[in-house]
Structures are given as C-alpha cells and as structure tokens.
Chain A
Amino acid sequence: MADIAIGIDLGTSNSCVARAEDGTVDVLANPYGEKITASVVAFREDGSITVGNSAKANIIHDPENTVSSAKRLIGRYYFSEEVKKARAICAYDIAESEGHGLRINVRNEQFSLPEISAMVLRELKAIAEARLGQSVSKAVITVPAYFNDNQRQATKDAGRIAGLEVLRIINEPTAAALAYGFGKGLKQRVAVYDLGGGTFDISVLEIGEDIFEVLSTCGDTFLGGEDFDDRLIDMLADEFLANTGINLRNDRFALEKLKVASEDAKKALSVDSAVDIRIPDIIEGPEGMLSVEHQLTSVEFGSLVNDLLQRTFKVCDEAVQEAGVVARDLDGVVLVGGPTRLPIIRDAVRAYFQMEPKTDVDPDLAVSMGAAIHASSLVNPKNDTFLLDVTPLSLRIGVAGGIAESVIERNTPVPIEQTRTFTTFKDYQESVSIRIYQGESREAEENEPLGQFEFSGFAKARRGEVEIDVTFEIDTDGIVNVTARDRDTGQKASIRITLSSGLSESEIESIIERANTDRVETTTLEITPPPVSRDPRSELEEALSTPPLSDSQRALEPVSESDPAASAASSTPAHAPDEATPADAVTQPFLGMSPDSDDLLLDEEPAPLLAEPARLSGEPQLAAPEPIVAASPEPFFEEAPTDEMVAYTKNPKAMDLDLEPDPVGLDIDTEVETEDNQVVELTDDLHIANTQTASELHDPEPEAEPQVLEENPHDLFEPAGTDLTTLDEAEDEKG
C-alpha cells in the first residue's frame, strides 16, 4: 500500500486538510463535519491547548491567551513593519527573541511562531488520521507564493515540529491551479487571483496538459480579508465614538466583539446586498449598556475597501506584465480564498480581466485539494504531473555602498543555481562574509535580509589570489541555500551564519523533545497521542540527556568543533573523491530540510554538519568552527576580475572610490586606505576578519560605525570591529 500523504492549506484565518486517491480528492472534515478549521490556538487556564473552531470562540472572552493569524508573523523579524502593525492589532503579547526573531507570550510561557503553526498542523494531521483511520506522517504544505525564504523555512520547521515529513512546500496559487486543471488535459493560460485571510497572491500559469508552468507570480503578504474586516471595525468604532464619545478600541472585549461582528457582516455580504450589524450591550456607558447598530450595504462596504482592492490590481498589473501576457487574452481567471466570494471582489476581477471568473473550484478548498493532489503524486512512483514554479522575489547580495545586487531575478524558474566568484581583499585573509537579501530594491536596506554568512577554511594567500565560488541555490520549495568553495583546492569553506530570523536546528529539536504540541487537545480523540502529564519543561534536562533521536535528527546534530582547520577538513564530505571534478562541484548536497536532503544526510553524511552548506535560517553556532573574529569592518572582497563580470558588475571598490573626494590616480596602497576609511561609514559593506591587520585595529575609529547601525533598524548584521579581545586571542593562537 502506498504511503498516505496529505495536502494542507495552512491559512492565515482558516486551514484545510485534504487527501487525493485514485483521481478523487476529499477535503477531510473533523468529527463535527467541519472542513474548515480556524487557524487559532487557545491557551486555557488549566494549561491545556485547543486549536480550531472552538479555540476561535475563545477569542471574545480571552483575547490575550488566544493566538490567531500567526501566519502573518511567521518568519518575520521583530523590527518589520508587519510586526509593528500586528502588535497594534493583536491582543496577545508579541515579544522579541534573540536575533530579532519573535516569540508569543501566553500564560507565562513562550512560543515561537513555528510552534504555534505546528499546533494547527497537528490538529489537521489528527483530523486526517481520524478520517482515514491510520497514521499520517507525510504532507505537502502550501504557502503564499510571495512568501520569502524565511517564511518558507519557518513553515517547513512548523511541519517538522508537528511530526510531519514535509514532502514539498508549494505555492497556494499553484496548488489552486492544480485543483482547477489536474487530469483535464487542458492547454490554457490562466491567472489565479488568490485573496486569503492575510495575504494576496496572483500567479499567471500556463497549463500544458501534465505541466503547470508558472509564468509569473506577484503578491502582498500583508493584504487580505482581515484587512477588509479592519476597515469595517474602524468605521463602526469611529461611528460609535462619534455617537457616544466612547472609544471601543480601548476595551479589549468590546474590540473582539466588534471583530467578530465585522467578519460575520462581511461574510453575509457574499450572499445579501445588505446586512444589519447588531452588537447588543457591547459596553457600559454612563447611563447603562450601549449597543452597536448599523445597516451595512454592499455599496458602503465597497467604498470602505476600494483602495485595498485597487492595491490587488496593481499587483496584478505587475504579474501580467512579467508574464508577458495581456490580461484579457488569458483563457481564464480562477478565484481562490474566502474573500473572493464577495460580489464586490468578483465584479472588480471581472472588470479587470474582462472575463467571467471561473467558478469550477471552491475558493475555500481549492488550495488544500491541489496540495493533496501533489502530495499523492509525490508518493506514487509514477509521477505524472509537473509543477514548474518560479521564485517570487529577487535574490540579492550586499555589496559596497549599501547596494544589493541581483543574483537571481524574481520569476526565475526553480530549482536554480547561480555562482559568483569572489576574491580576498587583504593578504592572508582568513574569512569572508556576505549578506543576502530578497526583494526588488537596489537599496540593500529596503529588502528583506535573509542572512549573513562568514566563510572560512580556505587557503590563505595574498590578496586576490584566493578565489571563492559562492553558490546560491533556490530549491523546488523556494528555499535558499548558500555554499562556498575554494576554487583552486575545490575545498568547501565552512560557513557560519551570523543572522537568521528562524529557529536553529537545536531549537527545533528541543521543541520536538518537549513535545509541547502534545498538550493540544484535538477534536479527534482516537489517534491523539497521549497527553503529557508531566511538565515538559521541568523535565527538559532529562529529556535532552536521553534523547530518542531519529536518525535524521542525529545526523543534524552539530559536531563539537573548535578547530577551524578540522572543520575545514571535515567540510570535504564523505564522497570527496567524486566531488573533486568540476562537474561534481555543483552536485554537492544542500542542507535544506527537503526529504531529499534529509536522505542525503542520513545515508551519506552521518555527522558533520559543518561540512554541509548552510541553510539561510539555520543555526548560528551550528556551523561555527570557533567564534570568528569580528574584526575590522573592511570590504573583504570584490568580484573576481573575470572579463565578463567586469563588463557589467559594479565593482564595489570602484563604487567606494566614486564617493571619495579625490579618487583619481590612487595607487593600490592608497586605495586600500581609502577603502578602510570608507567602510567605517558603510557598514553595509562586506567585511572581513583579518588577523593580519590586528595591530592596526588597536587604534580603531570608534564612533563612526555603530552610529550607522543605530540609524538603520534594518542593519542587524553584527557590528564588526569591536571585539578586540577575541582578535588578540586569535593572534595568540596563531603565534
């Protein structure tokens, strides 16, 4: 019997789970017959956790301990605009974790966002297991097409925490297109207009029978049905304030009632042209209880949200243009997401695309159905459908002057791999560091920072003599992997990640150990794992001392490494002999969490994670051979001077010189000085840890660099040049 693999639509507001078999797709209902599960987690006073529709009912009387819309926060940095906005709206406590990540504080406990999402996933897994009468361990999980690497990785982590092998992360509109076109032998070009609870995606696809090729995708990860609700809430609160002088926003309970009523009213407008909003006794006024009453018409609602709608069509413009098509020439437009049931949205879509939107697929269920279809084809040996997707965001590398250069443009088909060659900037330089971004701006700080990497363990030589090939890969899940190797020796450099928004490998493992999600009281009792009776945290030490690790978990354990040379040596993997050839240089395994690479780790790479290319949101310490000296903030590399590259690449050095008052005619030595001065100001620059210049650094220019860091909230890369003690130690070691 073939493995069972389910498809999960993990939505902002609601989630679904489905299973495909023999050409039929079932969206699986819970024991109450509900196919849609609210993505809400309620933390009860007695320590139990409930998920789903019953948890949602909890919001009104206990908003502080009920976490909804976690998807809006997953994979985000604390400083991001989205998080600021969420903190203003959400009643639960959103706190900052180490490394600019996020934690949710409820009832004196702290949870990461992947843990919260894992609770929802575990509920869906339990629903599927109850329906199917057997355990389920494999799933395809969908994400908004416009999710960046951090968000995708965090979602994948959530799947693991929930005890699922995530076969693939696929994009929601692509999944919907699969549900629409699978097995029909269509030859069509369609747009998928996907307006969910919290995100908007538009994808243009070409369906060629068994092939689903995404031509382009665009989106907005902070625009969805909930923003429509917010408009209604604001209008009602303003009206109430004007009538009574009482601001309902100041009362948590009143505000939650307002939220529920607004969402209900919006849903009612999918059917009726007008709806009476009544919230009796919402708050106590000076002369007794007061109520909210308002008759909302479709037209009035339309005027409240018109600008939001127009925002979606701006995104559509981009997608259609990137796909190289004309909207009205498409064969169809498929509507996905609950809000697209609203007549005002249907009308607007009809007007924009100049065609009647397709109603073949259920806007609430299509994504989970597509995920299930794909999951099923992945576990069956005979695969007969192919998703050719694209990366939604340009992958960029930071260069001098706060510029982020594109390495892989958005809407490039995945999987894809690109290599840039860098050279050392200083004699005997020991490590190089690069920053990676996703986004569409040439200004580094306007993009989403994915991570900072330090490479070391390559040959030491005079400047310019070491060439390091840095390879950027985006895999079929849309997840980014970075590797570096010394071009001459073919030796892989060890990598240390100094910025990451996500959970580290060891954090994930300890979460799995704690099995916090087991406390979740699922609605499907038969197969629910037995509740953990003891306090998982107090027993953490014990649990860690006898970890029942699976093979794959063991493989991911960091080896205790302190010697950089040893780590560099171990970075030549077990299959080194083959790897020496140039053709094989690119076949090196990558440390994504995809099942493929898990298998690689299992079979071929028992221990040395150091050897592995680092995941962007992996663990800082994991791959650290030693605390790499964060030394002088100097630009450490430039594009290797191959002719082709020079033809177009902005040479960071040249760029710096442009900013200097008198750059002309500098000889090499002066140029280096110029660079040094320059970089004190430009902390976005690539920089090095160079023990050779240690003596110079005892006289650093102290004030300039941290200033810039403070001014720029996005610049969360570790300030270099401050850790002189470590620097000395490094020199001692050398001596």
Chain B
Amino acid sequence: MAALAPAEILALARISEELDYYQLLHLQDDANARQIKDAYYETSRTFHPDACRHLPDDVRRAVAVIAKRISEAYSILRDPRRRPAYDRHLESGGGARMQLAQAEGAQRAEVEGKTPQGRQYFTLANQDIRRGDFAAAARNLQTALTFEPGNEGFEKLLVEVREKLEHSSA
C-alpha cells in the first residue's frame, strides 16, 4: 500500500472539505468507470480504517474522515445519474462536496423538470407518448421548454418525438 506519513494524512484530512471528488481520488475529469473503480481501490488501500489500526488516535481519526469522503466521492462518480449533477454543481461553484441525495434530486430535476409547470407538461407529454399521440407530446414538450428553456431532458425527448412523428407521416 502507498504509505503516507502521518503528517500528510492529517493535512489531507484538513483540506478534504475543499478537495473535489476528482482531486480526492486523483482522477481526470473524463475518467471512465474502470478508472474510477481502480482509484477507489487504490485510495482505499491507503485510507481504509482497517489499514490504519496501528496508527496514533489523531491519525486514525483523520483517516476515518478521509475514508468517509472517499466512499462519498465513489458513490457520486460511479453513478451515471449523480455524476452529471455533481459536474454541474462543480461548474456552478457549488463547492467540492455534494450530498448524495442532493445529487440524486438535482438529476431528477434535470430529467423531470425544475419548475412545476415544466414538470406538469413533461408528465403530460409522457402520457401522450404512451397513448401514441406524438403530435400532442411534441406540443406539450414545447410548452414545457418555454418554462424551462434549455432543459436537456426535455430537448432530448422532443427530438425523439419528432423522429417518431416523421416516421409515422412518412
């Protein structure tokens, strides 16, 4: 295992709030799933609480902090729903950490809408799609987009619906 000096561990624990998850796991922004897992394993070899039982108390406490942060980082970055939400969170200067439920919620908002009206028309559009009424779905999605311009989830679905429309008219 990559041994760290106690002083380094203490220092890392102190700044662990400020390190974003990519920095914490020594990852590039575009790391793939395998790289994320390998990084999780590698950092765990150093910072798993079991690896540090023989260290002094203050160091063990620091290790416990880092270990919890590593689990958090892994839980966000390995999850295809949470990771985009976290990336946006970072871009918007939201801080290095993100609570798991928050990432989940943000992602859901991105897919299902952030405004009540957006969600409402998005839901109607989905009902239209289930009924096979793509024209109505397209109208509802366009309305949803007037409330939430640029919502990627809405736009993506609208593209799909229009393709279906062209298919059926062709």
CB of B99 within 8 A of CB of A419, answer yes
Instruction: Decide if B51 is an interface residue (CB 8 Å cutoff).
Output: yes
- 5 pairs across A/B with beta carbons < 8 Å? A213-B40, A405-B101, A476-B50, A581-B14, A644-B89
Nearest Cβ on chain B to A376's Cβ, whole angstroms = 12
Tell yes or no: A604 within 8 A of B by CB: yes
Residues of chain B contacted by A408 (CB below 8 angstroms): 100
Among the listed B60, B71, B100, B108, which residue makes an inter-chain contact with A409, where contact means beta carbons less than 8 Å apart?
B100
Interface residues of B in 82-105 (CB under 8 A from A): 89, 94, 98-102, 104-105
Interface pick from B41-49, B137-145, B152-160: B41-49
Chain A: which residue is nearest B15 at the CB level? A583
Residues of chain B within 8 A (CB-CB) of A414 are 71
| Chain B contacts with A in 26-81, Cβ cutoff 8 A | 37, 40-41, 44-45, 48-51, 53-54, 57, 60-62, 64-65, 67-68, 71-72, 74-75
Q: Which residues of A lie under 8 Å from residue B16 when comparing CB positions?
A: 583
A315 at the B interface (CB under 8 A): no
Complex contact A413–B74 (CB within 8 A)? yes
Contact (Cβ within 8 A) A599 B57? yes
> A204-235 interface mask toward B, CB cutoff 8 Å, 1 = contact, 0 = none?
00001011010000000000000000000000
Q: What is the distance, in angstroms, from B6's C-beta to the closest C-beta of chain A?
A: 14
Assess the A210–B65 pair: CB atoms within 8 A.
no
B128 at the binding interface (Cβ < 8 Å): no
Q: Count of B residues near A, CB < 8 Å?
A: 42
The verdict on B106 contacting chain A, using a C-beta distance below 8 Å, is yes
Interface string of A387-417 (1 = CB under 8 A from B): 1100000000000000001111100111111
Residues on B with beta carbons closer than 8 Å to the beta carbon of A352:
none
Name the prevailing secondary structure of the A interface residues. mixed
Q: Does B17 contact A (CB under 8 A)?
A: yes
Task: Return the chain A residue nearest B33 by Cβ.
Answer: A324
Which residues of chain A are within 8 angstroms of B44 by Cβ–Cβ distance? 211, 386, 388
Report the Cα distance A649→B99, complex, angstroms. 12
The reply to whether A412 and B100 form a contact with Cβ atoms under 8 Å apart is yes
A527 to B92 Cα, complex, angstroms: 65
B165 at the interface (CB under 8 A from A): no
Say yes or no: is A420 at the interface (Cβ < 8 Å to chain B).
yes
Which stretch, A157-165, A561-569, A584-592, A671-679, touches the partner chain B? Answer: A584-592
B110, closest chain A residue (CB): A647
B164 within 8 A of A: no
Of the residues B48, B68, B104, contact of A386 by C-beta under 8 Å:
B48
User: Which of A142-150, A355-363, A377-385, A707-715 is the contact stretch?
Assistant: A377-385
Q: Check if A416 sits within 8 Å of B75, measured CB to CB.
A: yes
User: Roughly how many angstroms separate A415 CA and B100 CA in the complex, as a whole number?
Assistant: 14
Number of A residues with CB within 8 Å of any CB on chain B: 46
Q: Is the CB of B64 within 8 A of A415?
A: yes
Contact A386 B71 (CB under 8 A): no
Q: How far is the CA of A168 from the CA of B53 in the complex (A)?
A: 12
Enumerate chain B interface residues (CB-CB to A < 8 A). Answer: 13-18, 37, 40-41, 44-45, 48-51, 53-54, 57, 60-62, 64-65, 67-68, 71-72, 74-75, 89, 94, 98-102, 104-106, 108-109, 114
Q: With both chains docked as a complex, state the minimum distance between the C-beta of B11 and any C-beta of chain A, in angstroms.
A: 10
- Given A381-B54, A388-B41, 4 other A-B residues pairs in contact with their CB atoms under 8 A: A168-B50, A386-B41, A415-B49, A415-B71
Q: In the complex the two chains form, is B17's CB within 8 Å of A647's CB?
A: no
Set of chain B residues within 8 Å of A701, measured between Cβ atoms: none
Interface assignment of A596: CB less than 8 Å from any CB of chain B: yes
Question: Which chain B positions have C-beta within 8 A of A136?
Answer: none
* Contact flag A645-B62 (CB < 8 Å), given A211-B41, A581-B14: no
How far in angstroms is the closest Cβ of chain A from B71?
A: 4
Q: How far is the CB of B162 from chain A (nearest CB, A)?
A: 29
Contact between A583 and B14, CB atoms less than 8 A apart: yes
- Residue on A nearest B75 in the bound complex, by CB: A412
Chain A residues contacting B74 (CB-CB under 8 Å) are: 413
Measured between beta carbons, the chain B residues less than 8 angstroms from A406 are 101
Give CA–CA (A241, B158) in the complex, Å: 67
Asked whether, in the complex, the Cβ of A647 is within 8 Å of the Cβ of B105, the reply is yes
Contact B68 A415 (CB under 8 A): yes
Which single member of B14, B49, B114 contacts A647 (CB below 8 Å)?
A: B114
Decide yes or no: A210 and B45 within 8 Å by CB, A583-B13, A644-B89 being known contacts: yes
Q: Which residues of B contact A416 (CB under 8 A)?
A: 68, 71-72, 75
A412 CA to B68 CA, complexed, in Å = 11
Residues of chain B within 8 A (CB-CB) of A386 are 41, 44-45, 48, 50-51
A134 in contact (CB, < 8 A)? no
With a cutoff of 8 Å between Cβ atoms, the chain A residues found around residue B62 in the complex are 587
B102 to A604, Cβ gap below 8 A?
A: no
Q: Which of A378, A386, A420, A476 has the most chain B CB atoms closer than 10 A to its own CB?
A: A386
B64 touches A648 (CB 8 A): no
- The 6 A-B residue pairs with the shortest CB-CB distance in the complex, in nearest-first order: A648-B105, A413-B71, A417-B68, A416-B71, A583-B14, A381-B54
**A648 near B104 (CB under 8 angstroms)?**
yes
| CA A502 to CA B168, docked complex, whole Å | 64
Q: Determine the distance from Cα of A647 to Cα of B101 in the docked complex, in whole angstroms.
A: 11
Contacts of B41 in A (CB 8 A): 208, 211, 213, 386, 388
Which residue of chain A has the shortest Cβ distance to B107 in the bound complex? A648
Bound Cα distance from A387 to B71, whole angstroms: 13
List the A side residues contacting B53 at CB < 8 Å. Answer: 378, 383, 595-596
Q: How far is the CA of A164 from the CA of B99 in the complex (A)?
A: 37
From the candidates A381, A415, A583, A648, name the one contacting B102 in the complex (CB within 8 A): A648
The answer for the CA separation of A583 and B17 in the assembled complex, in Å, is 6
Q: Which residue of the partner chain, among A377, A387, A582, A595, contacts B17 with CB atoms under 8 Å? A: A582
Q: Are A587 and B61 in contact (CB under 8 A)?
A: yes
Residues on B with beta carbons closer than 8 Å to the beta carbon of A649: 101, 105
Residues of B within 8 A of A420 (CB): 99
Q: Does A473 contact B (CB under 8 A)?
A: yes
Task: Tell me, in angstroms, the Cα distance from A25 to B105 when the chains sit together.
Answer: 47
